[in-house]
Structure 1
Amino acid sequence: MWTCWWLWPLVAVCAADQFLDQAKRIMQTTPVIDGHNDLPWQLLLRFNNELRQKDANLTSLTGTHTNIPKLKAGFVGGQFWSAYTPCDTQNKDAVKRTLEQIDVIHRMCQMYPETFQCVTSSQGIREAFRTGKVASLIGVEGGHSIDSSLGVLRALYHLGMRYLTLTHSCNTPWADNWLVDTGDHDAQSGGLSDDFGKSVVREMNRLGIIIDLAHVSVATMKAALNQSQAPVIFSHSSAFALCKHRRNVPDDVLQLVKQTGSLVMVNFYNDYVACKREANLSQVADHLDHIKKVAGAGAVGFGGDFDGVTRLPVGLEDVSKYPNLVAELLRRQWTEAEVRGALADNLLRVFEAVEQASNHAREPEEMPIEQNYLDSSCRTSYGYSAAPRLHLQPAALLASLTALLLGLRLL
Structure 2
Amino acid sequence: MDLAYKIVDFHCDALGKMQLDPKLDFIRDERLDVNFERMAEGGVGLQCFAVFLSERLGEPQFEHILGQIDLFCEKVVGAGVAAITSVEELDRAEAAGQPGGLLSIEGADGLEGSLHYLRLGYERGVRFLGLTWNFANWAADGILEPRGGGFTPEGVELVKTCHELGIMLDVSHLSIKGFWELAAMAEKAKIPFIASHSNAYSICSHTRNLRDDQIAAIIALGGRIGITFVPWFVKSASEVKAEDILPHIDHICSLGGEGNIIFGSDFDGIETHIGDLRHAGQYAQWGEMLLKYYPERLVKGWLSGNALSFLRMWLPSTK
Asked if Structure 1 and Structure 2 have the same fold, meaning a TM-score greater than 0.5 normalized by the shorter chain, the answer is: yes
Please give the secondary structure, in 2, of the residue aligned with 1:298: coil
Measure how far apart 1:123 and its partner are: 3.1
2:85 counterpart SS class: coil
Q: 1:8 corresponds to which residue? A: none
Structure 2 equivalent of residue 405 of structure 1: none
Q: Which has the larger radius of gyration?
A: 1
Match of 2:47 in 1: 79
Q: Is the 8 A contact 2:60 2:109 kept in 1?
A: no
Q: Does the 8 Å CA contact 1:231/1:353 hold for their aligned counterparts?
A: no
Match of 1:253 in 2: 214
Q: CA separation in 2, counterparts of 1:161 and 1:339?
A: 28
For 1:257, what is the secondary structure of its paired residue? helix
Give the distance between the partners of 2:286 and 2:249, measured in 1 at CA: 10
Which whole-Å CA distance do the structure 1 matches of 2:203 and 2:14 have between them? 28
Q: Which of these residues, 29, 37, 41, is aligned with residue 12 of structure 2?
A: 37
Do the aligned residues in 2 keep the contact of 1:36 with 1:236 (CA within 8 Å)?
A: yes
Deviations 1:341-374 (A, max 9, x none): 2122212222333347x9xxxxxxxxxxxxxxxx
What corresponds to 2:124 in structure 1? 159
CA contact (8 A) 1:210 1:351 kept: no
Q: Which moved more, 1:64-73 or 1:206-215?
A: 64-73
Within the candidate set 79, 83, 91, 1:126 is matched to 91
Partner of 1:362: none
Aligned partner of 1:353 in structure 2 is: 313
Match for residue 225 of structure 1? 183
Q: Residue type of the partner of 1:95?
A: F
For 1:281, the aligned partner's letter is A
Contact kept? 2:198, 2:209, Cα under 8 Å: yes
> What's the offset of the Cα at 1:222?
1.7
**How far apart are the structure 2 equivalents of 1:106 and 1:286?**
38
Describe the SS at the equivalent of 1:284. Answer: helix
Name the counterpart of 1:135.
100
Q: Which amino acid aligns with 1:203?
A: T
Q: How far did residue 46 of structure 1 move?
A: 2.4
Matched, 1:204 2:179: no
Cross-structure match for 2:140 = 175
Amino acid at match of 1:33: V
The ranges of structure 1 where at least 4 consecutive aligned residues each deviate by more than 4 angstroms after the TM superposition are: 87-90
Which structure exhibits the higher relative contact order, with contacts defined as CA atoms closer than 8 Å and separated by 6 or more residues? 2
Q: Give a deviation string over 1:233-256, Cα, whole Å, max 9, x none.
A: 111111111111111111010110
Q: 1:59 aligns with which of 15, 18, 27?
A: 27
Structure 1: which 5+ runs fail to align?
A: 1-21, 48-52, 359-411
The reply to whether residue 322 of structure 1 matches residue 287 of structure 2 is no
The number of aligned residues is 314
CA distance in 1 between counterparts of 2:236 and 2:216 reads: 23
* CA shift for structure 1 position 87: 5.4
Instruction: State the alpha-carbon separation in 1 of the partners of residues 293 and 250 from structure 2.
Output: 9
Q: CA RMSD in A?
A: 1.9
Kindly provide the amino acid, as one letter, of the partner of residue 105 in structure 1.
F
* Aligned amino acid, residue 68 of structure 1: F
Contact 2:48 2:104 in 1 (8 A): yes
Using a 3 Å threshold, how does the CA distance of structure 1 residues 123 and 298 change in structure 2: closer, same or farther?
farther
What fraction of aligned residue pairs are identical, expressed as a percent? Answer: 26
Aligned partners of 2:56 and 2:134: how far apart in 1? 10
CA contact (8 A) 1:270 1:312 kept: yes
Asked if 1:271 is matched to 2:239, the reply is no
Matched, 1:192 2:160: no
Higher normalized helix content (fraction of residues): 1
Conserved 8 A contact 1:243-1:273: yes
**Structure 1 residues 325 and 109: CA distance shift in structure 2, 3 A:** closer
Deviation at 1:128, TM superposition (A): 1.3
Q: CA deviation at 1:174?
A: 2.6
Q: Deviations over 1:170-226 (max 9, x none)?
A: 21123110103xxxx323xx3223x32222111111111110111111111122122
Is 1:344 the counterpart of 2:304? The answer is: yes
Look up the SS of the partner of 1:179 in the other structure: coil
* TM-score (norm: length of structure 2): 0.92
C-alpha distance in structure 1 between counterparts of 2:95 and 2:280, whole Å: 21
CA distance in 1, matches of 2:313, 2:156: 20
2: distance between equivalents of 1:40 and 1:135? Answer: 15
